[in-house]
Chains A and B, each alone.
Chain A
Amino acid sequence: MGDLFSNLGLGFATVFQFVQWTPSFLGGMSIPLPMNILLCLVGALVGTLVGVLPGIGTIATVAMLLPITFGLPPVGALIMLAGIYYGAQYGGSTTSILVNIPGEAGSVVTALDGFQMAKQGRAGPALAIAAIGSFFAGCVATVLIALLGAPLTKLALAFGPAEYFSLMVLGLIFAVVLAKGSVLKAIAMIVFGLLLSMVGSDIETGASRMSFNIPELADGLGFATVAMGLFGFAEIIRNLDTGSEEDRQLVQNKVTGLMPTKKDLKDSSMPILRGTVLGSILGILPGGGAVIASFAAYTLEKKLAKDPKRFGRGAIEGVAAPESANNAAAQTSFIPLLTLGIPPNAVMALMVGAMTIHGIVPGPQVMQKQPDLVWGMIASMWVGNLMLLIINLPMVGIWVRLLRVPYRLMFPSIVVFCSIGIYSVNNAPMDVMLAGIFGLVGYWLIKHDFEPAPLLLGMVLGPLMEENLRRALLISRGDATVFFTRPLSASLMAISAFLLILALLPALRKKRDEVFVESES
């Protein structure tokens, strides 16, 4: 327990650290600035700003804004990225409630009842409850991360290569089972990602693989490049298809009466609590994530409600529960990343990408060698959530105005902004081209109903998986049964196999689809 407080203390000390800022125009005078807090604030604001844009999901937002954090020191960059992540999520729910265009799968559910509430003139309370629920969930999740962080790290240190490999397999299987859509196609996407990760030079032998003597490919496909192409550019192209302005039925009447009534608060308190618990659990699971959490929370509330017919017609519980679950899961998904070094979903995969660019290899070692980084980030999560609550409620008016920006002006701006961003990472025009190509690939994938998120996950886990697979087999002298004879590894593998079979069983497949479909209809 004492550990917990000293760790969190360190975290908050990092967040509230003052840095002497000596701008040249002040003539040598220096001003103490709470740098990390400012970065967190800017991140949350910019994240919301981009996340609010209709049709741009959380992953796309984080991918697009990655380059702007590259110039910062590592701690600051990660704090800012975390801020961007929450901001984007919050922005996404704002869009779902006000325009009924969910930027990503996670906020589809919020749109169901949120938009109905907005139509009835209750957009204010819906947004407020979403913010309050998210904040509560964020507080609980922060404590949970702090509690579970240290013990899980100890566990992780006992892991050998075989265990790591099995754990990653489990994570990927979880990602497949908990995702929407076909299991087979999701696995195919992961393997595609794994293959993409192998482009470039081999870690051990240094041999150049699948790079066709193109110098830019010798280092491998840039992670930010692929992410920006698959999510940024592909989303833009796809949105151009649907293109027409008329399906943006923006709530025209002013958002007034932000404060929820006492009854609203009472009605939503239990859903928030249940959503938080459900979201926290689903978030920790490797491969778990915000999407399934919000769907599951919505379904649960509908099952528990005295009058399920109210759902889909503007029930406040239908906003409170998924939004809390969403946010709780978003935060607890940092646990596998920070302790085991394994990103459980695409956003966390982007975080790994960012860490790698700053020369940090996520995993148990980071927690021991750079505690200020980990705990600073955890503390910043709480601060970030508080900021979102304070800033965003009064600023709803501005976000609404932003929603009116026509798409015809928005998309060229995003294209240009992304291009400059990608170029600035390595100063390589080739990267911009590659991102464009991956944009086309992503567009094709969307058209064939393949999810790009597992691809990204596979791409990030690829090098790690290959390295551990090789090492495990080298240690066992080529004996592939090592994954099934070491107890820890064997149980992880058994769970993966069990999950995969469950997901493929017709009866359970129906149940799984039901969770997604029921909340949509």
Chain B
Amino acid sequence: MIEMLWNNRIQVAAVILFAVGLTTLLLHRNLLKKIIGLNIMDTAGYLFLTSLGYIEGRLAPIVTEGSTDPARYVNPLPAGLVLTGIVVSVSVTAVMLALTLRLYRRYHTLNLDEIYKAVHREQEEEP
């Protein structure tokens, strides 16, 4: 088992990063830390995907010396998929940060519990 973990060390690193990110996302109350946790999770996913496409001793998928032998290059598909993921994660992070900044300007706190309380109080005061 330890040998299998050592053979798949890149995937192990990705899995640990994923767990750290998920824990940060779920159990922190600070909104900025939640965003950081989500980004760590994203990164773990990319690391996992790219590590699946790697093949020991082969070249990057850029045709050199005119050879299109599939046994010469690593798998090009995960690189394309990860590129899509990175762009989406950048966009999602930007929107989340903008929403967080708006919440901070309104309630002067980044703590989710305090924001809930403030919203609750506002709703009680309104009618």
Asked if A and B bind, the verdict is: no
